[in-house]
């Protein structure tokens, strides 16, 4: 378990030495609490205390509220894990049953939101549709009572329940079909697959998707969760918090990579093309999608579990030749990039699982979002418990003070200035 980060004191004195490549700055002005060290991307800079998730990036270990991820992926359910993340303890049998029933009762989405989606361009990316529809929930539940536990519980249930319905609804609408209403008698993952196809999924497929949701539910202060906490710190509503996080997750360096991994494997085409492709990619300093991580310097433990889930699916529903290409790419890329601490991350194998489940490629990141709503809401609650609005400092690199000049007095800056 990582040691408790020493909180940076109000004096802004950063206890750790400047990281290589950082830019130490002169002591901040007396009335500021700016840290004397700037770290690009806030790498290694604690931005909060949290008791939700712990990552050991050197040993490839991940725990949710102290429970090893492998145990949760093998023995828990996504809703039980969601309860654990958000309320801090595993639910009793009664607490879990009540939570599951509440979520089942709130899966439906207003026709107004479905009608709004019918105005979205069918060519739009499902993550943009999800961000818009998640934000629109705030129009229906606009009362902000963040200090009312009932309001907080209702918001958690609504978001966990409705996000999958909205992802599935846009999928049907963009095909010109009416959305499929959720079924209360199906489990969380089974119902999502049902709303995509109107067919009850194979129990193994539903079980594997549920495990994928557990694996993607939380990951400490990643970019989208940090975005959620910054948004939450202004005391806006939880729907805006989730919409802000969805927008952040959509980027290809973050949650969008799972979709790009399959595009990359398609581009490679076959095992014998892996090495020449990798040579060209490394020579052109191209990022290998699904590889590398800010925290992990070994193979992402989630990739290890996802690989096993993929093999379970292939054993049951037939092999995917792209898996052989992926495994060959992993072997060759680890040989070349492993010494730099660059290994497969969570996105490397997840797309192969979703493709075998028959999920369209541009829904891979929305599925990541469905799962990560649990983590974002856990951090939302935690932020509210000890809130201080995020407002970091900066290192100013602009012009020194200067006077405004009238148009006629402005000499062009260089020939042909625009
Ligand atoms: C997720 O933070 C989280 O927890 C995120 C996540 C979660 O659960 O929320 O785990 C989910 O976002 C997983 C990551 C998905 N993204 C990708 O797979 C995109 C490809 N990966 C990279 O873009 C990169 O590895 C990041 C963004 C994931 C991490 O980037 P860092 O920590 O900022 O590292 P960097 O870009 O500064 O790279 C450091 C060095 C560089 O080489 P040098 O210039 O020092 O020689 O490592 C190299 C990079 O070129 N490098 C890679 C690489 N990733 C880093 N080289 C080739 N391929 C890669 N994928």
For residue 75, how far is its CA from the centre of ligand 1 (angstroms)? Answer: 30
Domain boundary among 341, 356, 371: 356
Query: Which positions ≥6 away from 92 have C-beta within 8 Å?
Result: none
Tens of pLDDT, residues 287-334: 999 999 999 999 999 999 999 999 999 999 999 999 999 999 999 999
pTM as predicted: 0.90
Would the pLDDT of 20 be above 80? Answer: no
Q: Does residue 213 lie in a domain region?
A: yes
pLDDT at 203: 97
Angle between helices 364-385 and 149-174 (to 10 degrees): 170
Say whether 293 is catalytic. Answer: yes
Poorest-pLDDT segment among 18-27, 29-38, 68-77: 18-27
Query: Same domain for 321 and 280?
Result: yes
Ligand 1 mean position, distance from CA 341 (Å): 10
Band the pLDDT of 384: cuts 50, 70, 90: very high
Q: What is the pLDDT of residue 141?
A: 87
Residue tagged active-site, from 14, 293, 300, 379: 293
Q: What pLDDT digit, counting tens, does each position of 174-186 carry?
A: 999 999 999 999 9
Whether residue 121 sits in one domain with residue 97:
yes
- Asked if residue 378 belongs to a domain, the reply is yes
Residue 72 in any domain: the answer is yes
Same domain, 202 and 267: no
Asked if residue 9 is part of any domain, the answer here is no
184 is catalytic: no
Q: Print the domain residue range for 198.
A: 53-250+362-385
User: Could you tell me the distance, in angstroms and rounded to a whole number, from the CA of residue 344 to the centre of ligand 1?
Assistant: 10
**Judgement on whether residues 95 and 130 belong to the same structural domain of the protein:** yes
Tell me the CATH number at 279.
Answer: 1.10.230.10
Whether residue 343 sits in one domain with residue 310: yes
- The answer to whether 55 and 221 are in contact (CB under 8 A) is no
Identify the weakest region by mean pLDDT among 2-6, 206-210, 344-348.
Answer: 2-6
Q: Do 123 and 203 have their domain in common?
A: yes
CB contact at 8 A, 145 and 236: no
What pLDDT, in 10s, does the model give residues 60-109? 999 999 999 999 999 999 999 999 999 999 999 999 999 999 999 999 99
Q: Are residues 287 and 203 in the same domain?
A: no
Phi/psi of residue 367, nearest 5 degrees: -70, -40
Ligand 1 atom at minimal distance to the Cα of residue 40? 33
What is the tally of structural domains in the chain?
Answer: 2
Residue 215: which CATH number?
1.10.580.10
**Residue among 359, 390, 113 nearest 225 (CA):** 390
The answer to whether residue 48 sits within a structural domain is: no
Of 338, 356, 374, the last residue of a domain is 356
Asked whether residue 222 falls in the same domain as residue 179, the answer is yes
Q: Does residue 336 share a domain with residue 312?
A: yes
Same domain, 93 and 226: yes
Determine the Cα–Cα distance for residues 50 and 307; give it in Å rounded to an integer.
Answer: 29
Report the nearest atom of ligand 1 relative to the CA of 285: 50
Residue 105 in contact with ligand 1 by CB distance below 6 A: no
Query: Are 128 and 185 in the same domain?
Result: yes
Q: Is 351 in the pocket of ligand 1 (CB under 6 A)?
A: no
Closest CA to 104 of 187, 180, 35, 34: 187
241 and 154 inside one domain: yes
């Amino acid at each position: 378990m990582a040691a408790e980060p020493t909180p940076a004191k109000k004096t802004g004195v950063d206890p750790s030495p400047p990281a290589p490549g950082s830019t130490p700055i002169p002591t901040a002005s007396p009335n500021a609490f700016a840290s004397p060290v700037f770290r690009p991307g806030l790498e290694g800079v604690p931005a909060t205390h949290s008791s939700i998730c712990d990552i050991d990036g050197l040993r490839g270990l991940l725990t949710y509220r102290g429970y090893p991820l492998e145990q949760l992926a093998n023995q828990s359910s996504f809703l039980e894990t969601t309860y654990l993340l958000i309320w801090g303890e595993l639910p009793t049998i009664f607490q879990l049953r009540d939570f599951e029933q509440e979520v089942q009762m709130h899966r439906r989405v207003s026709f107004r939101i479905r009608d709004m989606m019918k105005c979205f361009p069918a060519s739009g990316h499902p993550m943009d549709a999800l961000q818009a529809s998640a934000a629109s929930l705030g129009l229906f539940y606009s009362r902000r009572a963040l200090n009312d536990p009932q309001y907080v519980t209702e918001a958690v249930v609504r978001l966990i329940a409705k996000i999958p319905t909205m992802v599935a609804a846009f999928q049907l609408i963009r095909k010109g079909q009416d959305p499929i209403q959720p079924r209360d008698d199906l489990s969380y993952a089974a119902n999502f697959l049902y709303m995509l196809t109107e067919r009850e999924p194979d129990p193994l497929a539903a079980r594997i998707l549920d495990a994928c949701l557990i694996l993607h539910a939380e990951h400490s202060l990643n970019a989208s969760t940090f975005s959620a906490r910054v948004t939450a710190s202004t005391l806006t509503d939880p729907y805006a918090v989730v919409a802000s996080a969805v927008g952040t997750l959509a980027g290809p360096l973050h949650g969008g990579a799972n979709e790009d991994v399959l595009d990359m494997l398609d581009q490679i085409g076959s095992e014998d093309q892996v090495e020449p492709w990798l040579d060209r990619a490394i020579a052109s300093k191209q990022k290998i999608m699904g590889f590398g991580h800010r925290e992990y310097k070994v193979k992402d433990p989630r990739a290890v579990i996802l690989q096993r889930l993929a093999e379970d699916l292939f054993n049951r529903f037939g092999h995917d030749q792209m898996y052989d290409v992926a495994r060959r790419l992993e072997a060759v890329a680890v040989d070349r990039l492993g010494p730099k601490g660059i290994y497969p991350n969570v996105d490397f194998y997840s797309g192969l699982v979703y493709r075998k489940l028959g999920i369209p490629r541009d829904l891979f990141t929305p599925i990541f979002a469905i799962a990560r709503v649990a983590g974002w809401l856990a951090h939302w609650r935690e932020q509210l418990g000890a809130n201080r609005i995020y407002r970091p400092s900066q290192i100013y690199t602009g012009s020194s003070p200067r006077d405004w000049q009238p148009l006629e007095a402005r000499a062009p800056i260089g020939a042909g200035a625009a």
